[in-house]
Amino acid sequence: MTTAGMAAMPALLDRLGELADEDDRETLAALRDRLDSGRLRVLVAGEAKRGKSTLVNALLGREVLPAGVIPLTAVPATVVRARAGEEGVEVAFTTGKSERFPLAAVADFGTERGNPGNCRNVAAITVGVDAPILGRGVEIVDTPGTGSVHAHNTAAADAALPSMDAAIFVLTADPPVSASERDLLRRVAGLSVALFIVLNKADYLDELSLAEALEFTAAVVAEVTGRSERVYPLSARQALGIAGDPGFTAFAADFTGYLDAGRIAGLELSVTRHVRRLAQQLLDEVALAERAARMPGDAAAAQIAAFGARLEAVTARRLDAEDLATAQSRRLLEALNEAADDARPRQAAAITGKLTELLDTELAGVPPADIERQGRVHLTGLVAAAVEAWRQGQAAGLEHGLREIDGKLAAELEADLAAVRAAAADLLGIDLAVPAPGDRLPADLGFFYTMDERVDQSELLAGTVRRRLPGEYGRRVARDRLLAQVSDLVGSQLGRARGDLQYRLAEATRELVADVRRRYSDSTQRLAGALDRAAGIRASVGDQAERQLAELAARAGELRALLADLHDGGDA
C-alpha cells in the first residue's frame, strides 16, 4: 500500500478483528504488534538436519538454541530482542497459561529430547536475547525441520509458515535439494516478501564439488520460484568459531543490509497481503454460508444437500487418490527392479566383448601386471559408463511415470472440483485451482560409484603370484582374472544405482501423497465449514434465523468494503 494507505492499516486491522474469530484475532494482534514496532518476522525454514538452529545461533553471535546430530527442534521458537540482564524464555502453553524461565530452559520445552511429541503442551516459545541483529527490527523464528522422523515436527513447521513476513531457506551442499524441499521452497517463496537461500555445510565439499552444488541449487531455486535468487554457500558451524566463515559474512552483510534498507517496505507489503488474504477467506465463507442459508424451500434444501454430498465425495476420494499414487509408484518400483535384473547380463556380455577386444589388441603382448592394472582401468570406465547410462535412462523413465501419476491425479481432482463448481455456481462463483505437476524425482547430485577392488590378504598373495607368472601362461591367467570380474562389478554398480533410484522414488512418492492430501483438503475444507454454518442457520426458527442471516449479510458487506479499501491502497 502507499504511505497514506499504510497509515490507515491500524484501523483496517481493527475492523477485520471485529469480523474474525478468536484464532484470527490472535493473528491480527500479532500483525498489529509487528507493524507498530516495525519488526519483521523472518522464518528460518528447511528440512530436518540442515543446520537451521546453528544458522540462527550464528546470526545471534553465540550458541543460544540447541543444535545436534539428531532432529532436535520440536516447537517453533521466536527469538526477539531483550535488554542485557533480561534474557530468558517465555513459554505459552495450550491451556492459556504462560511462564518465564531462564534462557537455558529452551532445551526443556523446545526440543524433541526435552519435550518429546510436545508432551508438555507448549503452544509457543519466545526467546529473549541481547544480540545486535535483533536490534535491527527483526524477530527470527527457528522452525522444526520438515521431513523428520517425527511427523509432528513437520506439522508444527507447516503451521508456522503462514505467519512469516520474510524467510531464510536453509539447504545443504550434501545431500542436494530433495523433492520435498522443492515443494516446501515453493510454498515459502509464495508466502514471503523477501527470500534468502542458504547452502549450509559448504565446508563438507571440496571446491569443485561445491561449485557444482551451488550451480545446481541456483538452477533448482530459479525453476521453483520463477526468479533468480542468490544462493549463499556457507558453514554456520564455522561461523560460530573464532576464525569465522567468509560465506556467512557475505550472507549476514546482505541480510542486515535488507533489514536496514528494505525492512519497513517489506513489512508493510507483508501485512497488507496477510490482511487481504484473511479478509478474502472470511468473505468466501460468509458469502457461501449466507447464500446457502437463504435458499428457500425443500428443493433448495435438496440442492444444498447434494452440494454437500459432492464435497464429501471429493474428500472421500482423497484416500482413493493416495492409494492410487502408492500403487502406481509400486509398479514403477517393480519395473525398475526388473530392468536392473535384465540389464546385468546384457551389460556384462557387452562389456566382456569390449574388454576381450582390448585384450586381443592393445594389451595382447604386455606383461601380466600391466594386463591387470590397465585392464582394470578400462573395465571400471566401461562399467561406470554403461551403468550411468542405464541409471539416467531409468531416472528419466521414473520422472515420466511420476508425472503421469501426478497428472492423472490432478485431472481426477479437477473433474471432481468441476462438478463441485457447477453445483456451487448458483451459490457462489468460486474458482478452485489445482497446482500444476512439477518435477517429482529428487535430483541426484550426490551419487557416485565405488569401483575399488576388495582385496584381502589371500588375494594380495595370489595377485603377487599371478603377476610373476611367466610368458603366455601368465597373460592368460591375468586375462581370465580380469574377465571374471566383469559380472560382479556390473552387478554391484547396478545395485548401487538401483538403490539410489529406489530411495529417490520412495521420497518422491511420500511427497506426492502429501501433495494429494493438501490439494483435497485445501479445495474442500472451507466450503464444507460454510455449509455447516448454513445448515445451523436453516435449523434455527423465527427471529433467531433472521438475526443470523442479517449478521451474515452485514458481515459480508463490511468485508467487501474492507477489501475495497485494501485494493484502493495498492501494493507497496
- In this prediction, residue 258 carries a pLDDT of 92
Mean of pLDDT values over 93-120: 80
pLDDT at 63 over 50: yes
CB 45 within 8 A of CB 158: no
Lowest model confidence (mean pLDDT) among 50-54, 202-206, 256-260, 306-310: 306-310
**Least confident span in 80-84, 130-134, 176-180, 427-431:** 427-431
pLDDT at 469: 47
Confidence band for 151, pLDDT divided at 50, 70 and 90: very low
pLDDT for 556 equals 85
Task: Write the pLDDT tens digit of every residue in 27-47.
Answer: 888 888 888 888 899 999 888
pLDDT greater than 50 at residue 545:
yes
Strands (E), 181-278: 195-200, 231-233
Looking at residue 399, its amino acid is E
The span from the CA of 271 to the CA of 242, in Å, is: 39
- The answer to whether the beta carbons of residues 143 and 45 sit under 8 Å apart is yes
- Selecting from 3.30.1330.10, 3.40.50.300, 1.10.730.10, 3.20.20.70, what CATH number does the domain 41-244 have? 3.40.50.300
Q: Are 51 and 232 in contact (CB under 8 A)?
A: no
211-223 average pLDDT score: 89
User: Rounded distance, CA 451 to CA 180, Å?
Assistant: 31
Burial 3-36 (b: 16+ CB within 10 A, else e): eebbebbeebbebbbebbeeebeebbeebbebbe
Give per-residue pLDDT as tens, 548-557.
Answer: 888 888 888 8
Question: Which pLDDT score, from 0 to 100, does residue 256 have?
Answer: 94
User: pLDDT higher for 172 or 407?
Assistant: 172
AA letter at 299:
A
Q: How far apart are the C-alpha atoms of 239 and 235, rounded to whole Å?
A: 6
**Which runs of consecutive H residues, i.e. helices, occur in 61-133?**
106-110
Assign 561 to helix, strand or coil.
helix
Q: How far apart are CA 443 and CA 216, in angstroms?
A: 9
Q: How far apart are CA 270 and CA 165, in angstroms?
A: 5
Question: Across-strand partners of 89?
Answer: 101, 127
Work out the pLDDT band at 153, boundaries 50, 70, 90. Answer: very low
Give dist(CA 109, CA 131) in Å, integer: 22
The pLDDT of residue 378: 84
Mean pLDDT lowest among 82-86, 141-145, 257-261: 141-145
Among the ranges 103-107, 253-257, 284-288, 320-324, which has the highest mean pLDDT value?
253-257
Residue written as cell 538403490? 499
**Mean pLDDT, rounded, for 423-446:** 46
Between these two residues, 32 and 414, which has the higher pLDDT value? 32
Confidence of residue 154 (pLDDT cuts 50, 70, 90): very low
Helices and strands (H and E) in the chain: how many: 15, 9
State the Cα–Cα distance between residues 182 and 196, nearest whole angstrom: 15
Higher pLDDT, 469 or 384: 384
Of these ranges, 193-207, 308-322, 353-367, 388-402, the one predicted with the greatest mean pLDDT is 193-207
- Strands (DSSP E) contained in 238-397 are none
Of 175-179, 295-299, 483-487, give the range with the top mean pLDDT: 483-487
**From CA 413, how far away is CA 391, in angstroms rounded?**
33
Measured at the alpha carbon of residue 444, what is the angle toward residues 442 and 446, in degrees to the nearest 5?
Answer: 135
Q: Is 146 in contact with 187 (CB distance < 8 Å)?
A: no
Average pLDDT over residues 110-122: 74
Looking at residue 553, what is its pLDDT? 87
Q: How far apart are CA 345 and CA 348, in angstroms?
A: 5
Domain ranges across the chain: 41-244, 297-539
- pLDDT tens-digit map of 485-500: 888 888 888 888 888 8
Residue 259 CB contacts under 8 Å (≥ 6 apart), including other chains: 40, 133, 136, 137, 138
Average pLDDT over residues 275-281: 85
Under 8 Å between Cβ of 311 and 528: yes
Residue 366: pLDDT band by 50, 70, 90 thresholds? Answer: confident
How far is the first Cα of the chain from the last one, in angstroms, to the nearest whole number?
A: 4
CA distances from 224 to 84, 228, 274 (A): 42, 10, 22
What is the spatial distance between Cα 399 and Cα 439, in angstroms, rounded to a whole number? 7
Amino acid occupying residue 427: L
Q: Which amino acid is at 96?
A: G
Q: Checking DSSP bridges between strand 138-142 and strand 122-129, what pairing results, if any?
A: unpaired
CA distance 141 to 39: 12
User: Using CA atoms in the order 59, 60, 63, 68, what is the torsion angle rounded to 10 degrees?
Assistant: -40
Q: How confident is the model at residue 146 (pLDDT cuts 50, 70, 90)?
A: low
Going by pLDDT thresholds of 50, 70 and 90, the confidence category of residue 519 is low
Does residue 501 contact residue 391 with C-beta atoms inside 8 Å?
Answer: yes
Strand 138-142, strand 77-81: pairing: antiparallel
What 3-state class would DSSP assign to 233?
A: strand
Instruction: Lowest mean pLDDT of 65-74, 82-91, 528-537, name the range.
Output: 65-74
- Average pLDDT in the 379-391 region? 85
Residue 158 has pLDDT above 60, yes or no: no
Q: Which residue has the higher pLDDT, 268 or 456?
A: 268
Looking at every residue in the chain, the average pLDDT score rounds to 78
pLDDT band at 75 (very low <50, low <70, confident <90, very high): confident
pLDDT interval class at 160 (50, 70, 90):
low
Highest mean pLDDT among 124-133, 303-312, 317-326: 124-133
| Portion of the chain with pLDDT greater than 70, in percent | 79
State mean pLDDT over 399-421: 74
* pLDDT given for residue 145 in this prediction: 55
For residues 34 and 138, give the distance between their C-alpha atoms in angstroms, rounded to a whole number: 9
Cβ atoms of residues 130 and 82 within 8 Å: yes
pLDDT at residue number 464: 44
Q: Looking at per-residue confidence, does 353 or 401 come out higher? A: 353
CA angle 201, 242, 252 (to 5 degrees): 55
| Most confident stretch, 214-218, 225-229, 389-393, 523-527 | 214-218
The verdict on whether omega for the bond into residue 175 sits within 30 degrees of 0, i.e. cis, is yes
Q: What is the pLDDT of residue 336?
A: 87
Residue pair 123/93 in contact (Cβ under 8 Å)? The answer is yes
